[in-house]
Structure 1
Amino acid sequence: MNINEAIDLLKENGYKATGKRKDILNYFADSDGYRTAKDLIKFLEKKDDAVSFDTIYRNLHLYNEVGILETTELNGEKHFRMNCTHHHHHHFICNKCGKTKEIEVCPMDEVTRSLANYEIDGHKFEIYGLCPTCQ
C-alpha cells in the first residue's frame, strides 16, 4: 500500500488525513519491516517535540483497524508495518532489526485438507529468525 492509497482509505472510513497522520504514514512507507510505537515516537520527536503518546497509539490502532497497517508481536511487543495488499504472501521477520522478506509459499493447502470439516475465516503465517545482516 502506498501513502495515497492509505489516505484514500482513511477518507473512505470517515477520517481526516491530518499532518500528524501523514507523518505517521510517511514513516511506515519509508520503513523496511515492522516498527514499534516507540520507534515511531522517536522519529516524530525529531520533527516535533510535542508528541502525544495517546495520539500515536490511537492512530496506530486506527490504521490497523482500517487495513493500512498490519501487526505482529515480536519479543512481547506489538510491531506495525504498512499493509501489503497487492498479492497474497507471508513474511520472514528478523527478530533483531524487524526487517521482513516476502515468502511466496502458503501452507493453507495442507491445512485446508487437514481441517476439511472446519470453516476457516483467515490465517497468518510468519517465520522468525535473524536476517543475514543481523546474524
Structure 2
Amino acid sequence: MFEDAGYTILDGKTGSNNGFDGLYIKGTVDDPIEIVIGEAKQWGSSGGVSVNAANTSTQLPQQMSDNWIKNVAARIRDSAKKITDPVLRNERDKLADMLTKQSNRSKISKYVTVVNKDDGVVNILKLGSF
C-alpha cells in the first residue's frame, strides 16, 4: 500500500525478526520528506489490540513510542558494526541517523495495521506521539 503511494521500503529489521515490521520513506535517507513506521498486530480475542508494553527485564521501551524508535535505531547501528561490506554498513548507519536526527522527528508517522483473523478485516490505525 505504501509503495503504491510512492514510498520506498527500507529494511528496518534487527536480528532475526526484531525492529520495525514496516519502514517506508518519501525522499531519501539523507533527506526524507516523510518517514512511516508500521507494526502489524492481530485483533485480540477481547476485541482490541495493543502494542508491547515497556519491558524492564529487556530494557525495551513501549513499542511504537519515540524511545522505542530510538532503541531500534541504536540496534540497527550496533548491527551495522558487524557488517564487513563498507557500503552496506554505511547504509545501515545512515538509516539509524535518519531515525534519530532531531530535525526528522516531525516527519515520522506511526501506524499499526490490525488484522482480524476471524473475518479478514484489516484496520490501519495512525498513532500520535508518545
Question: When you count strand as a share of all residues, which structure comes out higher?
Answer: 2
Question: When you count helix as a share of all residues, which structure comes out higher?
Answer: 1
User: Who wins on radius of gyration, i.e. which is larger?
Assistant: 1
